[in-house]
Structure 1
Amino acid sequence: MSEPLRDPLHDPLHIGLVVNPLAGVGGSRALKGSDGEQVRELVRREGGVDRAASRAARALALLRDSDEPLRFSTWGGAMGEDLLRSLGIGAEVLGSPGLGLSAAADTREAATALRAAVDLLVFVGGDGTARDVLDAVGDHYPVLGIPAGVKMHSAVFAVSPEAAGELLIRLARGGLVGLRRQEVRDIDEEAFRAGRVRTRFYGEMQVPGEARFLQQTKVGGREDQALVAAEIAAWLAESLDPDTLYLVGPGSTTAVLLEELGLPATLLGVDALRDGAVLAADADEQTLLELLAAHKGPARIVVTAIGGQGHILGRGNQQLSPRVVRAVGCDNILVVAAKSKIAALEGRPLLVDSNDPELDRALAGYRRVITGYDDEILYRVEGPA
């Protein structure tokens, strides 16, 4: 097993790779797809499992040859390990498929394990693979498909392997890469082989795509900060769960959320709210801990970035202490910021400085940032240098 490529305080983009080695093998055989036992039996007799790996190699070679530091985790054998080794790319292998040809269950198992460890899951396959990944990771985790299948009806794939590689490089460089909900669809192969086209919608997944920077513009092309804050607030207000306790950090962007809800806001403090009511205004650490201890449901922290610096924790919101963050959970932090504020960082990461190095390491990595109404990007977070 290779050692992971990791700098604990400056984590590069951590990519999880899972390859469906059977993807695309039915195409040259005019089988209208690669699902089902018929294809598996044919591969057992004739071999020819190389299309998925060769197409994935075209994307990964661009990453290998770039100057961007990247970290990889993958699944054993033909499901990723062999390919990365052939390209000279080090990776942490989190598990392996069983003996013989891999199956859908192996893809789901690999995707589930990788989801818990990486920033972004890259999978290689077709529509059937996309369905398996959706089953494993759900619709709120960022993924990107490298197209290698016969059936390509889903919108979760890059237009080519090279496009996938270029997009990942842009993301690693700190570019403004938006997250979009894209459809996962599949076709009934048996009906297709009989000449009938039946496609089915299975769900959506979050996919990084080219960001259209400054979508809300005025004459002169400058982002309207007040408009963006209002759009972020409107989106958050629609998304609030009445059973969740929200700890809303200081800042003008977060204050607009409470204004949107018709509630008083503490511009330079932390407010706690649930089900449309403020439970504590300008709360200190102890008050937040007491609220969390008494609350039996989920909790989330909402923070924004300090302009110019990029801090999201540890500057002006020390009430959100390491104990508070741990009580809420590192995965339950919502970061909101206008794209212009992120762009002003010029590729520098968002920062956390909680005064707890272990927590800072846990918070580091690529996180989703809400940048508008139903608009998100992936952006890097780091601890103090």
Structure 2
Amino acid sequence: MNDCVLVLNCGSSSIKFALFNMPLPLQRTPLWSGKADGITGATPTFSVSGQATETLTVDTAAPYHAALQRIRDYTVNRLGSSRLIAVIHRVVHGGAKYFSPARIDHQVLADLRSYIPLAPLHQPFSLEAIESLLDARPGLIQIACFDTAFHHTLPRVEKMLPIPYSAWESGIQRYGFHGLSYEYMSVALAERYGDAARGNIIVAHLGSGASLCAMQNLRSVATTMGFSALDGLMMGTRCGSLDPGVLLYLMEAKHLSSQQLGHLLYHESGLLGVSGMSSDPRELISAESDNPRAFDALALYVRRIVREVGALTAVMGGLDMLVFTAGIGEHHAELRNRICKGLSFLGLKLDPQCNQSNLPLISSPQSNVAVAVEPTNEEWMAASLAQPLLAAISIHFQAV
């Protein structure tokens, strides 16, 4: 009988899931993986790799529960003689308390609820999945792996904020996010490039959310996201770094409530807010020749990335490798090209054909900085991080 773990990666409108054999094999491909998408929209879907996408029927009063039930039913039906020994969750925020994978009980759950204000776009949905399984299968082991954990190595000066010291004492600090993606990069880059990956590296995780991580010796030393997932780069619908005076003005002069302001910053800003048409760079590139706002949105998006890469390069004292990952980073050659042109002052040069083909190494042999494209694998990373804890808990697992 094979022991398996199910990894859940919950977002605001989608749940990615993957099933892995335990102990993990060297191969990074799951037994199968899939996605429940558009959960809160008009036409939610359910898909598994290699199979046709199907319409997902949900209760509009509790759409997340319906999606989770569909994933659970599919998993049980596919297990055969294997048994599910644990569910592993990607949880965005572990606060100042959780730096390693944690087995979820009611105390841990209460702690994680207290971090919802720090990550309101993500934290509630992982917790809904956790609570749903606690109710349905209280004996099933659940483990949380935290996106903030990889950045625990940030030096104190990177974590602190320039506000009264009492804020630091109460846990208000820069945490950093996308940690499971960056931790996977620390593994994959070391395997592919050896000692060359232990120099000054910047990884650009560019998806609907976006951030940069500066690594030295494969450890996080600086990152663009800070106290919340609003910080740093301009994103699909999120603003990124913003003058705090703008927020005061919007609240005082425009009379926005904190709820209205939060909605504006998380859902109505970024590429969507500037362009007025889309958060998808592919759509904006198609429209930019005739649409000045689409042109401006892309120009600002690229400019903010170039600026932050420059800042992180200065902090590290140089740059040996720039790595693109996540949906936009892995698949969008034109944006990579524009970003790298903005960084040509570093002696960075792309090989146009390699870039267009999304090859692992896309820099020219004449480039002073290596430029790479490396697919991320957050689900495998979560399973890998949880494996030692699973081994330590007990050999007597309760199957589904």
Q: Shared topology, TM-score over 0.5?
A: no
Q: TM-score, normalised by structure 2?
A: 0.28
Structure label with greater radius of gyration? 1
Higher strand fraction: Structure 1 or Structure 2?
Answer: 1
Normalized against structure 1, the TM-score is what?
0.29
More helix per residue: 1 or 2? Answer: 2
